[in-house]
Amino acid sequence: MADDYYQILEVPRTASAEDIKKAFRKLARKHHPDVNPGNKAAEERFKQLNAAFEVLSDPKKRKLYDEFGEDAAKMGFDEKKAEAYRAYRAAQASGGRAGPGGNPFGGGGVDFDLGDIFGDIFGRAGGGGGGGGFDIGEILGRRGAASRGPERGEDLTAQVTLSLGEAITGTERALSIRRPGRCQRCNGRGEAGAAGPCPTCKGTGRVRRSAGTPFGGACPTCNGTGRAAEPCPQCEGTGVVEETTRLTVKIPPGVQTGSKVRLAGQGAAGAHGGPPGDLYIETEVAEHPLVRREGDDLYMDLPVTIPEAILGAEVKVPTFQGEVTVRVPPGSQSGRKMRLKGRGAPSLKGGTPGDMYLVLQVKVPELAAPEVKAAAETLARAYPGDVRRELKL
């Protein structure tokens, strides 16, 4: 299918979790809105990548997606709904009966109404009479306004790419997030108006299933209260609608690739007035052309001239916390490390910050002027012997 999540992430269905994560990071960097300002196609592609990664990075969701495809999303990736759907498909395959005698829950020889059973499972009254007629898409895709209580919204994940300097010193980043938000029309309640007598149970709170069956009890539409309201037409009774919102995220100093910043309550809105989930910002730190990071320590090559290496010198060095002056000891060789204490990355756990190490690189003049050649000949006589005499394999 055109919207197959594996095709979107450009990975095979057998891809490992690590392969999926690597593919997402690569494509997310390429199509990120910050990298493609004003490019609607890239923005849409980025949304598709996030949707695909959210499912395939979750083992439970991925398993259901592999089995049911797009229908898994309609089920809300709910295992109980998946079990019911399997029973339904088995019943359809056996001509409307799900097991010996037509009852998938045991018992011999008792017919059952698939609509009634799915109504019990999904919190809705089934459609049709003893023939079991009902719309499975309707049952899996929608829920009545009063059929379920408040539910916490899902946690969401977004990715942001930072420079090494931003990761070391911290920064703020404005993000545009597409997420399930609270329906403004019904204020997240999922109801179109005041509750009245439940149309399914006529206000009694109890229902009776098909004649001769054991399936009965509390009304699935009103949860046994006897009162129900019409579902909000804007959100179809869920209390949730898709929205795009802009957030300003504070990235703390010291983050690395894979670090997560939690924004409490900024995830998906909860269904039926439930509390929202959290939003996790996962950081991706780009490589720096001059500085490399190892844990909380930083390493940078520091070029010095031959006279500076021989005689020693004070040189100015840039760091992410500002410029400093360092003393190059006389007689320094290429590869010598000089430590700048505390000039590395801050510790996210509040411990001692890392250090910055300067690795000396002695530079030879590129222009061989006569006076340079004369100085080099004089310098050559200063060596006591062959500097490669110990170089043996």
Encode pLDDT of 288-316 as tens digits. 999 999 999 999 999 999 999 999 999 99
Percentage of the chain surpassing pLDDT 70?
81
What's the confidence (pLDDT) of residue 114?
41
| Average pLDDT of the residues in 230-242 | 86
| Average pLDDT of the residues in 80-95 | 70
CATH numeric code, 291-380: 2.60.260.20
- Work out the burial of residue 127: count CB atoms within 10 Å of its CB; fewer than 13 is exposed, 13-18 middle, 19 or more buried: middle
> Chain-wide mean pLDDT for the chain?
81
Q: Write the pLDDT tens digit of every residue in 173-202.
A: 999 999 999 998 888 888 887 778 887 788
Tokens of 290: 């001059």
The C-alpha atoms of residue 155 and residue 280 are separated, in whole angstroms, by 7
| Average pLDDT of the residues in 78-100 | 65
Tell me the C-alpha to C-alpha distance, in Å, between residue 17 and each of 59, 205, 241, 257.
9, 47, 30, 17
Annotated domain spans of the chain: 144-194+229-287, 291-380
Contacts of 92 (CB under 8 A, 6+ apart): none
More confident residue, 105 or 31: 31
- Each residue of 297-335: b (16+ CB within 10 Å) or e? bbbbebebeeebbeeebeeeeebbeeeeeeebeeebeee
β-pairing, 324-328 vs 313-317, is: antiparallel
What's the confidence (pLDDT) of residue 386?
86
C-alpha distance across the termini of the chain, in Å: 60
pLDDT interval class at 369 (50, 70, 90): confident
The C-alpha atoms of residue 162 and residue 347 are separated, in whole angstroms, by 17
Q: Are 214 and 245 contacting, i.e. CB atoms less than 8 angstroms apart?
A: no
Lowest model confidence (mean pLDDT) among 17-21, 85-89, 277-281 = 85-89
Nearest to 27 by CA among 66, 56, 1: 56
Q: Is the pLDDT reported for residue 214 higher than 50?
A: no
What's the confidence (pLDDT) of residue 83?
79
What's the confidence (pLDDT) of residue 222?
76
What's the confidence (pLDDT) of residue 236?
82
Tell me the C-alpha to C-alpha distance, in Å, between residue 212 and each of 56, 111, 113, 247.
44, 9, 11, 57
pLDDT interval class at 38 (50, 70, 90): confident
Q: List, edge to edge, every strand of the sheet that includes 156-162.
A: 156-162, 279-285, 260-263
Handedness of CA 12, 13, 16, 18 (dihedral sign): positive
Same topology, domains 144-194+229-287 and 291-380? Answer is yes
The architecture in CATH of the region 144-194+229-287 reads Sandwich (2.60)
Q: Is the pLDDT reported for residue 388 higher than 90?
A: no
Q: Write the pLDDT tens digit of every residue in 119-172.
A: 443 443 333 333 333 333 333 333 344 445 788 999 999 999 999 999 999 999
What's the confidence (pLDDT) of residue 295?
92
More confident residue, 88 or 245: 245
Nearest to 295 by CA among 158, 173, 168: 168
